[in-house]
Structure 1
């Protein structure tokens, strides 16, 4: 159930790691959730908690009217996965706050966590910005930095950054409720980096020209659990491996298509061509 306060909040987001954010926001006047996720753990949570929601990328007039109908004051966005159109943006009297998992202006766009890991960054963080008409461009309201240690995966770093964002956003929402001023700092274009959307093909590696070992290790962590780092076993491989898809996983593990996860050592010992494949990857 949600706690209806005088401030009316709409949340835009998707993904299981945004559930704790919604859990906090529902005590601060949450009236509607807009998600690009048609089903899954996030939607199951909304149903269980009886939180009103719509599945929408905000291209249908009926969905825009639904948002307008709740007379929103404040919007909160986290991992929504679609552009907020201008006509929605200006419905919110107090604006829309975006929880972004990077140290803006670095890593704008859809894949900030992956890029931080791929580039071997030694720090990351979470930024709260006030949304404007450009992607991840609005003024910074708050930012918190953390150290990276070279063992983070997409999964656990995303969870950590959104956990930090949850605490940050609740403090800001409380200030807004109390009528306190919110400081906004214009983003500096210096250091601006844009990211692209990650596809399944980004995880593909060619056994004949594999990435350098350090780059491959970062790819494995940056693309776990999706899209994963994967390759096709050689078509002339002996036994049962021929043309199978093999996924490389963190912590020295892999998974042959149709098989359980195993260690690199078990793969090497269990398949005649295992050692040859691992040598090509500089992992033997």
Structure 2
């Protein structure tokens, strides 16, 4: 069966592998530019792909229509699918979303799960409708959140789990033997996009154990992007300069332009920063 895929980032490669093996993958649409994980995979496997900054190109609708693909799959795409694209697929677009919907709709479900100290999350497979992560559920599987998880490690596991769940779900859906379950919209929660500034911290406000726990979660939730960072004046006298300091998982710090080091090695190299760094450890 012909199929189209919408997706970006290295996280979705397990899903692409499944589609290449089991379907006639006619086209991949991605927001990544040449050199990204998805375009590279497509080139290696001789799959037609388009790198698109948006879905407003009038030629795109004609291209998809001419493919005559009854269904599409979407994962970590990063753009909202407009109705004129959604309606091109008779059997719709199947979306893999890394949360247990209706919890954490939107672009940053994993980051929010870690920030909130959740112990369990999961992957949801839904049929897209015109609202964000709002459509009926085809299937879900739970996943434990480890104390060491970063957004990166958890996204990898969730999309890999989704790639394993997709064959069972997709085949039943195409055979029309799967019952779709409406989400409980009253229980929906929503997430927001992250910006570089989201990761900035004011170290003077990290004073008690509760704020230290929040910082530790934030470091893991915002890795690798946007990262947790602050500005510190490092050096002595006229040699002192304002530098960006990144807080990395597993007890690492990184001064801009330098390699990551342990807190201990950082303080050995910049003893003048002890008054700022030690209170938040």
TM-score (normalised: structure 2): 0.93
Equivalent residue number for residue 200 of structure 2: 204
Equivalent residue number for residue 48 of structure 1: 44
Q: Distance in 2 between matches of 1:237 and 1:51?
A: 57
TM-score (normalised: structure 1): 0.92
CA contact (8 A) 2:234 2:270 kept: no
Asked whether 1:19 is paired with 2:9, we answer: no
Greater percentage in helix: 2
Equivalent residue number for residue 260 of structure 2: 261
Q: Distance in 2 between matches of 1:197 and 1:20?
A: 24
Equivalent residue number for residue 163 of structure 1: 160
CA contact (8 A) 2:235 2:272 kept: no
Partner of 1:125: helix, strand, or coil?
Answer: strand
Partner of 1:233: helix, strand, or coil?
Answer: strand
CA contact (8 A) 1:34 1:53 kept: yes
Q: Pick closer, same or farther for the CA change 1:267–1:65 going to 2, 3 Å.
A: same
- Count of residues in correspondence between the two structures: 275
Asked whether 1:99 is paired with 2:96, we answer: yes
Structure 1 residues without counterparts, runs of 5 or longer: 1-6
Q: Pick closer, same or farther for the CA change 1:264–1:59 going to 2, 3 Å.
A: same
Equivalent residue number for residue 32 of structure 1: 27
Partner of 2:123: helix, strand, or coil?
Answer: strand
Equivalent residue number for residue 84 of structure 1: 81
Q: Distance in 1 between matches of 2:247 and 2:193?
A: 21
Superposed CA RMSD in Å reads 1.7
Deviation at 1:240? 6.3
Equivalent residue number for residue 152 of structure 1: 149
Q: Distance in 2 between matches of 1:226 and 1:123?
A: 22
Q: Pick closer, same or farther for the CA change 1:167–1:272 going to 2, 3 Å.
A: same
Aligned pairs for 1:123-134 within 5 A: 123-134=120-131
CA contact (8 A) 1:239 1:272 kept: no
Q: Distance in 2 between matches of 1:82 and 1:104?
A: 19
CA contact (8 A) 2:8 2:37 kept: no
Q: Deviations over 1:137-186 (max 9, x none)?
A: 00000011122232210000000000011111122223345x25121000
Deviation at 1:242? 2.4
Q: Distance in 2 between matches of 1:143 and 1:239?
A: 59
Deviation at 1:189? 1.6
CA contact (8 A) 2:127 2:136 kept: yes
